[in-house]
A and B are shown apart, each in its own frame.
Chain A
Amino acid sequence: MEQKHLVRALTQIVGKKSVLHHPDDVLAYECDGYTIQRGTPRAVVFPSCAEEVSKVVKLLFQAKIPFLPRGAGTGLSGGAIPLGGEVIISLVKMNRLLEVDFANMRAVVEPGHINLKLSNTISVQGYYYAPDPSSGSSCTIGGNVAENAGGPHCLKYGVTTNHVLGLELVLPNGEILNVGGSSLDLPGYDLTGILVGSEGTMGIVTKITVRILRKPQGVKTVLALFEDVRDASQVVSDIIAAGIIPAALEMMDQTAIKAVEAGSYSVGYPENTDAVLLIELDGLTAGMEEMAEQILEVCRNHHVSSVKVAKTPEERNRWWANRKTAFGACGCISPDYLVQDGVIPRSTLPQVLERIREISQESGLRIANVFHAGDGNLHPLILFDARIPGQTELAVETGSRVLQVCADVGGSITGEHGIGIEKQQDMYMIFTEQDLQAQQMIRNVFNPEDLCNPGKLFPKPARCVEMKRPVVHS
């Protein structure tokens, strides 16, 4: 289909104001939060309801034009980047909160609804939505579903998939379909479970039923500083070993601390701080004091240099703002940074941190570590300068080496940010060809012509031979 015909047909469906196609207008859609690769979309459309999404998809499906869904574009693995001239279907106009059922603890949202907005809206009644990505004030719940997003409080409460009960979906052929529902264990295969985390490769989510939770009665936040990162790692292990599952258990290393202190929410960490732990307990207030004391004890047993419990909500918020803006704060200490995302068995933390330090030295690039320590989810931030020729490639390669370390200790190459285009080849670090084929079998059921977000998530067969060899399971 010719471009002008396409634009006319799209305009007929969604209206003139909801189609962008001039090169200048679509510039902002060349990439998402992963800025290393870019591509120009054929057009960007902003449907306002599932029927419009369906019509747009039917049109593109018939014309065999590739397309991809996009939420807020904060994704960090390039899942929303149009590398093959896709039409971008942006869900930002479909941002309503459709229904809140407090008694049954359910809410129904459109995919463009902003993550944090849901919690803010239901907060007055004493409820919240548990998955809390650090990007919560801008990312969409549709994007969260696609990436199976996590956040600091997922240690105790689980990630997006543990909170999504049902979806409305526009299949890649334009058909509208419902999967799951608001009751539990509905008969049949768990299609909701397989769709969450499928990175927009199985269709476009147009409605989401989520579980909402009652806010806990009490919260206690502990901030502990260490002069040796190894002590902090040991504290993480010992807390879990004591049978305590905190609501959150976050860690930052020295380089990350430098960054957050240079950012907008400094806490005033002393110069010699090598690691910070941010530990949060929540639940019934009865018994919480003792549990906090237990945690303080563990910290003291490992040479904590300073440890305190937040005295006011403001103090707690400040500590969290400091932590949650850590990625962006790296921009204050480095012209560019690459956010990595790997997972390791918690017990290997000290050894992996040591390896990352070595990799940093070998590559000559600084690496700041910010992570969800409680569940072994690392975010090494690789600091580089894109103006120096070769540094971008070096940063990417260094990131990949870090992932290899994660894979080698039995971990995963992503805990929250997804594969997208960034980690397609890295999939071979943890999966065999057979494993990947089994996954693609499912994609082919939903998306047989690979028109919906094509060329993402799976390794490119042609390149795999020269670049990386598949792992062999023991």
Chain B
Amino acid sequence: MLGRGDWEAAQSGSELAYCPWEVRNTNSLGVKDVEHENIHSSLSSLIGTTHVQTQHNQLLVYPATEEEISQILRAASAHGYGVVPQGNGSQSQFGKGFIEKKIQLSLKRMTGIVEHSIPDLTAAVLAGTPLQMMQQVLKQSGQWLPIDPMVSAEATIGGIVAANSSGPKRILYGSLRDYVIGMRIVYPDGSVVKSGGKVVKNVAGYDLCKLFIGSRGTLGILTEITFKLRPLPHYQELVLIPLQTLDEAAKLQRIILASEFIPSSLELLTPQFSVELGQRPSYTLLVGCDEGEAACIYHRERLTELAGADFNLKRGEGADQFWQEYRSYFNSSSQDFLLAKVSVLPMQVLPFLQLLRELFDGSSVLMSCSAGLGTGIIRLTIQDGLNQDGVAPKLKIAREWAEKHQGALILEKAPFVIQKQLSIWGSEPSAFPLMKAIKQKIDPDYLLNSGSFIGGL
């Protein structure tokens, strides 16, 4: 088991920016100075002056314990302030609703692995721990949390769970809802609630964890999360097959999904994206295998039969490196960048890409996609030129199509010009009234991250 001390030692190598929150809309008249002073001093007395900061009229607090979080929430509530939880601000682009009086609550000081039980393949982690650091520690015992979300190195596990982020390997490993086995949460009223536990199978009581995964910090502050882990694959390979047409991709998709293949990723990159990643200017089909060397060879042979021998191959760390580049592509810090996540059924993925092609054909914006042919999750990015007319209406058509096919299109990152024309979340689901009732039960005053989730939750 690893103690907190080891963790801190591991962490000291990297210096993280203390104020990652990007402030857009500062209005010095918006927050009354007196109120601000009052809450500032009240927070300072709770957690110490050095851990309360004001930047561009925004209050930032850095609690170190669950107890401090409780106190902050109670104080915020008493002063009529809202609270916006953030890990390292890496997901902060998500539906940032503007509330005048709000406190940014950073979990940056709550990092470390609380318990890593190696033989049980489980680990409890403080929510402010960056995923990357957590993986580094787990790797020492040949284990990992099998998620590969499109996030930056600083992204914290709490933020990732709150956003339910995933990546290409989801096709084999599943998503966070398959790995979170326990949580500690500070509720808006300051009470601390535990859900689940530390064993990998557990049906005692309601599975509240599910409610918090993907809740975008609108229901409670996650402080500690316990995961089920997996052994790191002994060996992996990634086959990159250039394809000229969507029809070829469709054929391979059907065959691979309906036969003995066990792909650890099955993504189709559009030509634009292929070029960015050093591939030919055609579609590229990525087929990963994590099942050991013999299985990788078998996969490769089968793919040769199906698509010919004209492919690129990345082995072991080469594959890791490729994925790292791939992920960094989604982490553009440019203001002129849009990332949308589309979710449809696997068999609708290629028709959707076809639709996008028709929509954006002849347009000067650079649109690229990575489409999960087994998961049905498509990541769509647009770089540069987002202020042009026509981008938002095109995305609106794409969203309508996705929703008509039982799917969704959400904006993960988008400049203000797009957000003005297109909602982040799209249509409310039919069960929305129940979701709202849950929010109102848990957070009746809309203290937490208000307005940032679907339907203003």
Contacts and interface: CB of A to CB of B under 8 A. Distances in A.
A and B: partners?
A: yes
B426 interface: yes
Residue among A105, A185, A410, A439 with most chain B CB within 10 A: A185
Interface string B288-301: 00011111011100
A151 to B, nearest CB: 11
B199 A415 contact: yes
A241 interface: yes
Contacts of A154: 201
Interface stretch (B12-20, B98-106, B256-264, B317-325): B256-264
Residue among A159, A217, A345, A416 with most chain B CB within 10 A: A345
A283 B178 contact: no
A434 B203 contact: no
Contacts of B234: 243
A445 B433 CA distance: 10
Given A431-B194, A435-B195, A193 B120 contact: no
30 contacts: A103-B258, A103-B347, A104-B376, A148-B207, A154-B201, A162-B178, A181-B406, A183-B408, A185-B408, A189-B438, A192-B210, A214-B258, A214-B260, A284-B298, A287-B294, A290-B294, A343-B200, A343-B201, A345-B122, A376-B120, A376-B200, A410-B198, A412-B201, A415-B201, A419-B204, A430-B204, A435-B194, A438-B208, A439-B208, A445-B434
Contacts of B164: 185
A344 B199 contact: yes
B334 interface: no
Contacts of A198: 206
Interface string A238-255: 001101110000000000
Contacts of B408: 183, 185-187
A332 to B, nearest CB: 28
A316 B33 CA distance: 75
A408 to B, nearest CB: 13
A27 interface: no
Contacts of A457: 205
Interface in B197-228: 197-211, 213-215, 219
Contacts of A158: 174, 178
A441 B442 contact: yes
B92 interface: no
B192 A434 contact: yes
Interface of A: 101-106, 126, 147-148, 150, 154, 158-159, 161-162, 177-179, 181-194, 196-198, 214, 216-217, 237, 240-241, 243-245, 283-284, 286-287, 290-291, 343-347, 372, 375-377, 410-419, 423, 427, 430-432, 434-436, 438-439, 441-446, 457, 473
Given A183-B344, A435-B193, A193 B202 contact: no
A343 B203 CA distance: 10
Residue among A101, A190, A413, A423 with most chain B CB within 10 A: A190
A188 B429 contact: yes
A232 to B, nearest CB: 15
B269 to A, nearest CB: 20
B441 interface: yes
Nearest to B289: A284
Contacts of B431: 177-179, 188, 191
B203 A190 contact: no
A413 B199 CA distance: 11
A159 B210 CA distance: 14
Interface in B72-114: none
A197 B198 contact: no
B197 A216 contact: no
B347 A436 contact: no
Given A102-B258, A179-B431, A185 B343 contact: yes
A438 B430 CA distance: 24
Contacts of B454: 187-188
Given A103-B347, A177-B431, A345 B198 contact: yes
Contacts of B192: 434, 473
Contacts of A177: 430-431, 434
B449 interface: no
Nearest to A242: B231
Contacts of B425: 187
B280 interface: no
Interface residues of B, number: 86
Nearest to B165: A185
B345 interface: yes
Contacts, number: 250
B142 interface: yes
Nearest to B181: A412
Given A191-B434, A445-B438, A159 B197 contact: no
Nearest to A159: B201
B354 interface: no
Contacts of A446: 434
Nearest 10 A/B pairs, CB to CB:
A193-B210, A287-B294, A243-B231, A217-B260, A286-B298, A347-B119, A415-B201, A412-B202, A286-B294, A438-B193
A473 B194 contact: yes
Given A182-B406, A438-B187, A417 B293 contact: no
Contacts of B344: 183
Contact of A439 (B177, B206, B298): B206
B215 A189 contact: yes
A193 B213 contact: yes
Contact of A191 (B208, B209, B230, B435): B435
A194 B195 CA distance: 12
Given A102-B258, A217-B260, A240-B121, A178 B430 contact: yes
B272 interface: no
B433 to A, nearest CB: 9
A439 B196 CA distance: 11
Given A193-B210, A196-B207, A290-B294, A412 B199 contact: yes
Contact of B343 (A186, A191, A444): A186
B117 interface: yes
Nearest to A415: B201
A85 B148 CA distance: 51
B201 A150 contact: yes
Contacts of A417: 203
A441 B441 contact: yes
Contact of B199 (A291, A343, A432): A343
Contacts of A244: 231
Contacts of B430: 177-178
Interface string B176-196: 011000000001000111110
B390 to A, nearest CB: 25
B262 A106 contact: no
A412 B204 contact: yes
A211 to B, nearest CB: 10
A214 to B, nearest CB: 7
Residue among A126, A182, A186, A375 with most chain B CB within 10 A: A186
A413 B204 contact: yes
